[in-house]
Homo-oligomer: A and B are copies of this chain.
Amino acid sequence: MRPRSPIDRWGDDCMRILIAGGDGFCGWPTVLYFSERGHEVAIADNMIRRQWDVELGTQSLTPIVPVEQRVDAWQEVSGRKVKLYVGDMTDYNFVEHIFKDFQPEAVIHYAEQRSAPYSMINREHAVFTQTNNVVGTLNVLYAMKENAPECHLIKLGTMGEYGTPNIDVEEGYIRIQHKGREDVLPYPKQPGSFYHLSKVHDSHNIMFACKTWGTRATDLNQGVVYGWWTEETQRDARLYNRIDYDGVFGTALNRFCIQAAVGHDLTVYGQGGQTRGFLNILDTMQCVELAALNPADKGEFRVFNQFTEEFSILNLAQRVQRVAADMELATNIVHLPNPRVEKEQHYFHAENTNLLDLGMQPNYLTDDVIRSLIEAALRYKDRVDLNVIAPTAQWR
């Protein structure tokens, strides 16, 4: 089923995998995860995520070394080599060069601006987010069509593409009965920021490429990721993953744990009834691996909802508060004016059986997991800048 090639492999199931955005929060642990399992891995990245830290005056909670040192350290620690392509996915010459040089059998595409607040800072950031994400993905689609028509695109989308409809969220498609007829159609999207919109645009573009060119693609609509460690990133301080806690790139649960560690109020936006799908970063690794080892068929646009559990934001804050109290860390929950335009009380239930059917073993959010996140944050509490935690970008 999966296209194979005759070059030497560490194992039968191993393949050449390009990880676009391989220097980022999800990308870097994915690089190590696949490399550790014997796949031939290449990174494509322009390191712009580090530049956004500079722009925003913040930095990763953990100290991180330059990507070249990361790659060297991994080779030293594991004996495995990872190839590094430095450049911008919106530059087609760069993308095409990688396809000709590395000949990937799968592309895991994380190389997008992934913060909703960043996309809402102003017009320039909205336009940047949409052009960067949409053009980068168009380039990958064309490079696959021209150079690697059997290659499998594994594209990171977001559960936020769906918004909060008053019916169950299905995985990409929904069967609709209407006026005595029926069809299975793309699930309607109601994204809530220019970032989320960019992912909807990508999904439509990819769906078209699959239908028109026979492209193989899996769209992973990922929930909110928590945690930051994987087995591989912990082997050496030079392999540490980045951790974001600032108001622009930090996400709910990680931010709460870091707030608890430094004695900051847990900042809930609005009422906190916003309910979302969540997953441990360990499950991001698992999901992406399952997608890669079980590729989409030729011409198939496959959609997986990638999360393990659904929580309301207030519920998460309360859980973190309780676990922190057990650790003798007193915290308050404060409700900030919501910078976003979104429903704060709503129905939400989403399906996520496609990945479970492929054998996914979920890591659930236990109190022990929350405790370990707070403990990890305590180690770096001196690096926390309290001034960057508050939300800055306003939707209105």
Q: How far in angstroms is the closest Cβ of chain B from A263?
A: 34
Asked whether A121 is an interface residue with its Cβ less than 8 Å from the other chain, the reply is no
Within 8 A of B (CB), among A96-141: 123, 126-127, 130-131, 134-135, 138-139
Q: Are A142 and B123 in contact (CB under 8 A)?
A: yes
List residues 181-198 of chain A with CB under 8 A from any CB of chain B: 181-183, 185-194, 197
Docked Cα-Cα span, A212 to B394, in Å, equals 10
Known contacts A142-B123, A181-B347, A183-B165; is-contact A188 B191 (Cβ 8 Å): no
Given contacts A166-B183, A212-B395, contact A130 B139 (CB under 8 A): no
Asked if A204 and B208 sit within 8 Å, CB to CB, the answer is no
Residue among B123, B188, B191, B200 making CB contact with A139, cutoff 8 Å: B123
CB interface residues, A 134-161, toward B, < 8 Å = 134-135, 138-139, 142
CB closest chain-B residue, reference A212: B341
**Among all A-B residue pairs, the 9 with the closest Cβ atoms:** A166-B183, A185-B188, A167-B178, A123-B142, A201-B201, A212-B341, A186-B188, A167-B181, A167-B183
Residues of B within 8 A of A178 (CB): 167-168, 174
Tell me the A residues contacting B by CB distance below 8 Å.
92, 123, 126-127, 130-131, 134-135, 138-139, 142, 165-168, 174, 176-179, 181-183, 185-194, 197, 200-201, 204-205, 207-208, 211-213, 341, 347, 395-396
Complex CA gap A180/B333 in Å reads 36
Least Cβ distance of A139 to chain B in Å?
7
Residues of chain B lying within 8 A (CB to CB) of residue A207: 190
Task: Tell me the complex Cα distance, A176–B179, Å.
Answer: 11
CA distance A303 to B20 in the complex (A): 37
Asked, given contacts A186-B188, A201-B204, whether A130 binds B123 with beta carbons under 8 Å apart, the answer is no
Q: Beyond the given A131-B135, A197-B205, could you list 10 further A-B residue pairs with CB under 8 A, ordered by the A residue number? A: A130-B205, A131-B134, A165-B183, A167-B176, A167-B179, A168-B179, A188-B188, A191-B208, A197-B201, A200-B204
Rounded to whole angstroms, the CA-CA distance of A395 and B211 in the bound complex is: 11
In the assembled complex, the Cα of A152 lies from the Cα of B7 at a distance in Å of: 60
Contact A130 B138 (CB under 8 A): yes
B134 touches A130 (CB 8 A): yes
Shortest Cβ gap from A98 to chain B (Å): 15
Q: Which residue of B lies closest to A168 (CB)?
A: B179
